[in-house]
Structure 1
């Protein structure tokens, strides 16, 4: 099991500057090379990339060699600029669009999580891509896919089926490339929605790290505005929920997606939002790294995206650096020391065993409000009631005092 690094890693989720992810249909390495030069130039050390599932596996028994070769070419382009690479396998879901092959749609409609033939096809896909990317020294991780729980409810799943699906495919990836981190990526319904079939325990039990995706358009920014304490500490709150839920107090948490979405964070407030967010989350001793969403803006010549998707980049589509990128670069260049001595707020909800109580820790809940209030005085952990009296657990997480809720 890996441990959090001595200092957080900083990277970006790669959204190609030319043609968005449709650029995978052309010569993706050519665009990627220029994009990666931008990212390396501000001191980032890694990128997360997203090959699109149906363009590599258009038929259940066909893996396109050209698709795999294009993926390897993009990874090689990252290596030219000293960037390590995490590969998300199943896209799946990207920026409000779902990309699914025709063999799970229309007359062939089958559930991604439960149909045995789809599962068999995915085993082949995960095995093939993982073995291919493991041939590149700068690849450090594979994630099953980008926020795969967004494919529910169109593809129904029970909690048991969701967990078994992820466990099977993570096992395939781990067998194909034992030297890589294997990860499970879920958006925050897994933490906050009591009805969601993908549970917090899935995220903290499965894979080698826990990943969290922090987006303040989930209602957080409505609590206190773009620069309010709830908004700028939401990433830290998610990292703490994840750390508190894991049975392993040393399990790292990767802030795998975080961004400054408009209109929740207006353009004028974005640099200060980035600065305060990173000041809050980077001292967290569980933090593995921060990967910004995203590298480049979406060209406005492309239609039908939600408005907030167009301006999330660190760079414009024509490669101009944005003020938020300068704040991320400054944070990446600073020394960072984890907060080894901090209090913890006791949470009566054990998300691992009581997923039906997730609403009690969601943004705006009484527990969240109390954590935000106390967090204004400095770093603040979360500990479950069951572990609040466990000295070894508290020491491992740098907790030196336990606070009960008022």
Structure 2
């Protein structure tokens, strides 16, 4: 499908939904009343959508068995979200969540085979994507399905190569589109796809596959080590990823969804969290390519649950007992107004991420190009443009670029 893009357009603001009671284990014993308490929190600060994460092996425990009860539980949650005016994006393959991988037994142990390359597994996954997408499309408040949460985190335990990865994602996006043409069908990757030269999922996958581009901005990838929790590299990282994505797309009007961004400790100490949120949102919401922001995450993780990385416990906008945290107040303030978008310069990038994925380190945080972009970005909005399109006046105008700069 084609997604119209006008600039500036109203931004979408939402949260990645982490249930306050029982984390994602709550899918084993779902409670509509618990969902209502959580969604009341989110609607109360002006959010318009949630991204939700059904657990794949609990719905498809066998390659040829897709549980209707699991689908009904998901539909029940979607219906509760509608009660609060929240639209819903559904991630299909979980897959990977908060340092845990949830894979069905039919791809593990004696049955170990790659999710990305084994033909029988791919047939099973395609059936799951088709069935779940058709089911959620029956609800008017569902607007998107994503293949899964950072599916590239499942590598290298599931061996794949770039061509296989791209083929896998393209096939499944096609399955989702055929099942529900009115929904956005999306492909979601974490930022190794942009920064790691050896990663088997490439930047082109992000910008060519699916109906818009998604990026996940996490400052614990090394950015915060450059200049601390409130330094210019840290608070502009989300904007930098949006720009890399916009510059890599062949379509100058392709929107970019900041599908995950958060304030993780210890990279962002509690005392700095509100200011980090304020500065990050002020920077990225001025970007004309931005479609929306979905904060990670809605609610903290109950510390009664063991074995999570320390930073996972306190990422919520709300505590487990429904108290709004400073991040929630800052996000609520950002919902009310998008900064005016005007012309902006662009910094020419000598790396073509489409054709030179082996040079991804040259744009990674701490690289010379990144350092120059961060330096110049402090003076105001700054685009990224590839060298091959730096003289294309129609392309530059379409992206709101009025001057071209080169690295000092």
> Same fold judged by TM-score > 0.5?
yes
- Report whether the alignment pairs 1:62 with 2:65: yes
Indicate how the Cα distance of structure 1 residues 4 and 258 shifts in structure 2: closer, same or farther if over 3 A, else same: farther
Deviation readout 1:183-239 (Å, 9 max, x if unpaired): 000000000000000000000000000000000000000000000000000000000
Q: Distance in 1 between matches of 2:131 and 2:31?
A: 20
What does 1:284-323 correspond to in 2, within 5 Å?
A: 284-323=287-326
CA drift of 1:142 comes to 0.2
User: How many Å apart are 1:28 and its aligned residue?
Assistant: 4.3
Pair 1:348-2:350 in alignment: yes
Where does structure 2 lack aligned partners over 5 or more consecutive residues?
A: none
- Asked whether the equivalents of residues 219 and 237 of structure 2 are also in contact (C-alpha less than 8 Å), the reply is yes
The offset of 1:308, in angstroms, is 0.2
Mapped partners of 2:200, 2:248: distance in 1: 17
Distance 1:14 1:404 in 2: 41
1:116 is the counterpart of 2:119: yes
Is 2:402 the counterpart of 1:400?
A: yes
Question: Contact 1:29–1:70 at 8 Å: present in 2 too?
Answer: no
- Cα pair distance change 1:9/1:333, threshold 3 Å: same
**Please, which of 212, 215, 222 is the counterpart of residue 215 of structure 2?**
212
- SS of residue in 2 equivalent to 1:386: helix
Q: Work out whether residues 194 and 364 of structure 2, in 8 Å CA contact, stay in contact via their aligned partners in 1.
A: yes
1:100 is aligned to 103
Matched, 1:360 2:362: yes
Q: Which residue of 2 aligns with 1:369?
A: 371
Aligned with residue 264 of structure 1, among 264, 267, 290: 267
The SS at the match of 2:215 is strand
In structure 2, relative to structure 1, the CA distance for the partners of 1:159 and 1:28 (3 Å cut) is: farther
CA contact 1:186–1:212 (8 Å) conserved in 2 = yes
- After superposition, the Cα gap between the structure-2 partners of 1:52 and 1:350, relative to the gap in structure 1 and judged at 3 Å, is same
State the match for 2:152 in structure 1: 149
Q: For residue 30 of structure 1, report the CA deviation from its aligned partner.
A: 3.1
The 1-side partners of 2:59 and 2:129 are apart by 11
**Which residue pairs with 2:387 in the alignment?**
385
Q: How many residues align?
A: 405
Deviation at 1:340, TM superposition (A): 2.8
Alignment of 1:116-265 (within 5 A): 116-265=119-268
Q: How far, CA to CA, are the matches of 1:99 and 1:65 in structure 2? A: 19
CA distance in 1, matches of 2:354, 2:332: 35
Partner residue of 1:82 out of 68, 82, 85: 85
How far does residue 133 in structure 1 lie from its aligned partner after superposition? 0.2
Structure 1 residue aligned with 2:3: 2
> Which runs of no fewer than 5 residues in structure 1 stay unpaired?
none
After TM superposition, give the deviation of residue 33 of structure 1 in Å. 1.5
**TM (normalized to structure 1)?**
0.99
CA offset at residue 335 of structure 1?
4.1
Match of 1:36 among 29, 39, 43: 39
Find the aligned partners of 1:404 and 1:248 in 2 and give their Cα distance: 23
Q: TM-score, normalised by structure 2?
A: 0.98
Structure 1: distance between partners of 2:175 and 2:377: 41
Q: Deviations over 1:79-108 (max 9, x none)?
A: 000000000000000000000001110011
Instruction: Let me know the Cα RMSD of the aligned residues.
Output: 0.7
* Separation in 2, partners of 1:334, 1:131: 35
How far does residue 334 in structure 1 lie from its aligned partner after superposition? 2.1
Find runs of 4+ consecutive structure 1 residues off by over 6 angstroms. Answer: none
State the alpha-carbon separation in 2 of the partners of residues 250 and 90 from structure 1: 28
Residue 288 of structure 1 aligns to a residue whose secondary structure is strand
1:7 and 1:336 in contact (8 A); partners too: no
Report the counterpart of residue 17 of structure 1 in structure 2: 20
In the alignment, the residues of structure 1 paired with residue 334 and residue 186 of structure 2 have an alpha-carbon distance, to the nearest angstrom, of: 25
CA shift at 1:405, angstroms?
A: 0.5
> Following the alignment from structure 2 to structure 1, what is the Cα–Cα distance between the partners of residues 13 and 339?
12
Secondary structure of the corresponding residue to residue 182 of structure 1: strand
SS of 1:400's partner is: strand
